[in-house]
Amino acid sequence: MNANELADYLLNFIMTVEDYDESKHERAATMLRQQQAEIEALKDTIAAIEKNADYWVNKAISALVSYNIKDAAKQIGITPNTLTKRILEGKIKSVDGRITGAEIKRYLES
């Protein structure tokens, strides 16, 4: 049950009681509805933050991943032979025959 449903229930239930004070219960129902609206807004904010965090985590991880020659060539969009040639020319740096995601990004942006 969310706050809006609780507000409806409160108004319907209280109307059956003899000492019903309409103004107090309407204020309570209004407060519940406002709180539900705030909860929904916070859910949207949290979803946006999670999406942004996922983006930065993926970006950080992709920079740390290291690829073998074949996979790195596929990431760049060239053949493994061409990648080997670029490594020998010093255009792409490899460590123990592996290329990091950060190095691929640097090469693609240059």
Boundaries of every domain in the chain: 3-63, 66-109
Residues 42, 39: Cα–Cα separation, whole Å: 5
**N-to-C CA span, the chain:** 56
At residue 4 the predicted structure's pLDDT band, cuts being 50, 70 and 90, is confident
Calpha distance 90→110 (Å, rounded): 13
Q: Which residue's entry shows tokens 């409806």?
A: 8
Residue with tokens 């969310």: 2
pLDDT digits (tens, 9 = 90+) for 52-108: 998 888 888 888 899 999 999 999 999 999 999 999 999 999 999 999 999 999 999
Q: C-alpha distances in angstroms, 37 versus 4, 7, 33, 44, 49?
A: 9, 13, 6, 11, 19
Confidence of residue 21 (pLDDT cuts 50, 70, 90): low
